[in-house]
Amino acid sequence: MSLTATENSVRHGRVRQPANGVGRLVRRLDRERRRFLHATTPEVPTEQAWRAGVAEGLRLAQLAIRKGV
């Protein structure tokens, strides 16, 4: 009997912990996300929206890494 990727990572209601070294990546993504959230100079609304989109993408990447996707 073979397990699918989802069945392999989730057993008995528990999510598998990420592999070693992932913590460093998650911390770096968090640092980059915070850097993109705060601008150092006044910006036009288009640039504000772009920065917010980048920050959201980094947040979603962190979430996926933590879940082991």
Please report the pLDDT score of residue 55 as a whole number.
87
Taking only the tens of pLDDT, the chain with its 69 residues reads 455 555 555 556 666 555 567 788 888 888 888 887 777 778 788 888 888 888 899 899 988 888 887
User: Residue holding tokens 């288009």?
Assistant: 46
Where do the domains of the chain lie? Answer: 5-67
Please report the pLDDT score of residue 12 as a whole number.
61
Please report the pLDDT score of residue 1 as a whole number.
47
Closest CA to 68 of 3, 2, 14: 14
**Length of the chain as a residue count:** 69
Closest CA to 61 of 25, 15, 10, 24: 25
Please report the pLDDT score of residue 41 as a whole number.
79
